[in-house]
Amino acid sequence: MANETIPRLESYDDVALTKAFGELKLQFNQEAMLSGSPEGRESLRVDWLGRKQGRLTQISSIWLKTAPDSAKRSLGQRFNEFKAYIEQSIAQELSVESAGSGRPLDAIDISLPGTRSRIGIEHPLIKTMNEIVAVFKSMGYSVGVGPEVETDYYNFESLNFPPNHPARDTQDTLVVAGQERKALRDRLLMRTHTSPVQIRTMEQQAPPVRIVIPGKVHRNDAADATHSPIFHQVEGLCVDTNITFSDLKGTLDHAMKAFFGSSVKTRFFPSFFPFTEPSADVQISCIFCGGKGCRKCKHSGWIELLGCGMVDPAVFGAVQQKQPGYDPKKISGFAFGMGVERIAMMKYGVSDIGQFYSGDMRFLEQFA
Ligand code: DAH
């Protein structure tokens, strides 16, 4: 391509000049079209615009210098136009090249390894939640969910927390603003626990019921190493004829052994929840020291893990309007609720709850 001979000008009249520059333009355009790679475009540039050997330099020396004075003016004008055209075309080609992803459009090296998309892993909290749910599923429980924005009625009143009852204070509630004109029971809030889904489930389904409910809950708690304003719970509910406290004990004892290992023991302490009577806190023998006493269990040998109890007749009373089958004289049931973060922290030895929400892959990938 380089150093193509410059055609001789036959004459300097308009027709001859138009023809000569037309041919040069055609030649340039053809070469430009074929100059696919960055290297090709660079050699095109040198070939045409190069100072010493470039074709424009040659044209100017052969045509202009030998032209008779009468033709110099129009030849010079056409030459300048042609030069501007070449410069512009070459500048445009180069800018197309650099406007891409930094990579020349046609310089794709198919032998390079591709950009690998990272395969996600199950988040440790979801994993823990799924493992807990799986234990209950294997005992015949179904799985349910409910809304995170809840009404006062489902979060509190139906669960036997009357308005102004001090037990509401144990659940620092985030309420949705601007609802003063609504009746208290209809006001919206962020659910403080998964227990409202007990009521929603019973309203939808006549007894018997065996269900676990994993989900996100919200409380107006300041974040520290063990608290987060958003956390997760797994709720459980079992209602049938003749359900007793020993069913509750047997079920939770089995669940803890299935989850933490068969050597784990459980014990039940009296407690209070408005929606269960009697209520209990469940402790498991310390999974770190086996019950001998260590720093993790504050030398007691036991770790408190969940709340539970027999469903309070007042709770059945609340759903009876919609499902008359929940007659506390004919059926009974138990319920339980546990914090997923607390269990995951214990199981994986995590000391700061905030790490679960940090999005730090170095932390999260350890649980893959
Ligand atoms: N909802 C309770 C809480 O968030 C936990 C709980 C305790 C749930 C006892 C239950 C239960 O179903 O029976 O503190």
Is residue 161 lining ligand 1, measured as CB closer than 6 Å? Answer: no
Whether 276 lines ligand 1, by a CB cut-off of 6 Å, is: yes
User: Residues 139, 244: one domain?
Assistant: yes
Shared domain for 182 and 87, answered yes or no, is: no
Report whether pLDDT(356) > 50: yes
For residue 106, what pLDDT is reported? 62
Measuring from atom 3 of ligand 1, which residue has the nearest CA? Answer: 193
Same domain, 159 and 237: yes
* Number of residues in the chain: 368
Question: Within a domain: residue 238?
Answer: yes
Is 182 a member of any domain?
yes
Determine, yes or no, domain membership for 164: yes
Query: 304 and 170: one domain?
Result: yes
In a domain, 67, yes or no: yes
Whether the pLDDT of residue 190 is over 50: the answer is yes
pLDDT of 97 above 70:
no
Least confident interval from 51-65, 150-164, 208-222, 227-241: 51-65
Domain identity same for 199 and 328: yes
Say yes or no: CB of residue 273 within 6 Å of ligand 1. yes
CB 132 within 8 A of CB 214: yes
Q: Average of pLDDT values for 335-349? A: 95
Percent of the chain whose pLDDT exceeds 90: 63
**pLDDT at residue 70 in the model:** 84
CA angle 305, 310, 316 (to 5 degrees): 130
155: number of Cβ within 10 Å: 25
Question: Is residue 329 very low, low, confident or very high in pLDDT (cuts 50, 70, 90)?
Answer: very high
**Residue 360 CA to ligand 1 centre (angstroms):** 31
Q: Name the amino acid, one letter, at 208.
A: P
The arrangement of strands across the sheet holding 332-339 comes to 142-143, 209-218, 230-240, 332-339, 302-311, 276-285, 266-273
Tell me whether strands 209-218 and 302-311 are parallel, antiparallel or unpaired. Answer: unpaired
Indicate whether residue 307 lines ligand 1 (CB < 6 A).
Answer: yes
Test site for ligand 1: of 160, 193, 306, most ligand atoms within 8 A of the Cβ: 193
What's the domain count of the chain?
Answer: 2
Report pLDDT digits (tens) over 12-50.
Answer: 888 888 888 888 888 888 888 888 788 888 888 889 888
For the CA of 311, the closest atom of ligand 1 is 13
Is the Cβ atom of 193 under 6 angstroms away from ligand 1?
Answer: yes
Q: Which SS3 state, helix, strand or coil, does residue 212 take? A: strand
- Residue 95 is predicted with a pLDDT of 67
Residue 79 shares a structural domain with residue 221: no
CB 219 within 8 A of CB 172: yes
Q: Are residues 95 and 179 in the same domain?
A: no
Q: What mean pLDDT do residues 277-290 have?
A: 96
- Specify whether 183 is located in the same domain as 138: yes
Instruction: Detail the DSSP E strand segments found in the chain.
Output: 142-143, 149-151, 188-190, 209-218, 230-240, 266-273, 276-285, 302-311, 332-339
- The residue whose CA is least distant from atom 12 of ligand 1 is 336
φ, ψ of residue 329 in degrees (nearest 5): -80, -20
In ligand 1, the atom with minimum distance to the C-alpha of 194 is 1
More confident site: 356 or 74:
356
Q: What is the reported pLDDT for 244?
A: 98
Rounded distance, CA 265 to CA 24, Å? Answer: 94
Residues 91 and 128 in one domain: no
Judgement on whether residues 92 and 195 belong to the same structural domain of the protein? no
pLDDT in tens, 106-148: 678 888 888 888 888 899 999 999 999 999 999 999 999 999 9
User: Band of the pLDDT at 1, cuts 50, 70, 90?
Assistant: very low
Quote the domain boundaries for residue 241: 124-367
Cβ(216)–Cβ(265) under 8 Å?
Answer: no
H, E, C per residue of 137-190: HCCCCEECCCCCEEEHHHHCHHHCCCCCCHHHHHCCCCECCCCCCCCHHHCEEE
Rounded to the nearest angstrom, the distance between the alpha carbon of 275 and the centre of ligand 1 is: 8
Domain match, 90 and 133 both = no
Is the shortest distance between the CB of 155 and ligand 1 below 6 Å? no
| CATH value at residue 154 | 3.30.930.10
Query: Where residue 176 falls among pLDDT bands split at 50, 70, 90?
Result: very high
- The Å distance, Cα 308 to ligand 1 centre, comes to 6
Token pair, residue 330, equals: 């004919």
The answer to whether position 117 is within a domain reads no
Residues 61 and 169 in one domain: no
User: At residue 154, does pLDDT exceed 50?
Assistant: yes
Quick one: pLDDT at residue 2? 45
pLDDT at position 147, please?
Answer: 98
Residues 33/27, Cβ–Cβ less than 8 Å: no
- Is the residue at 153 inside a domain? yes
Note the pTM of the prediction, 2 decimals: 0.71
- 196, containing H or E segment: helix 196-204
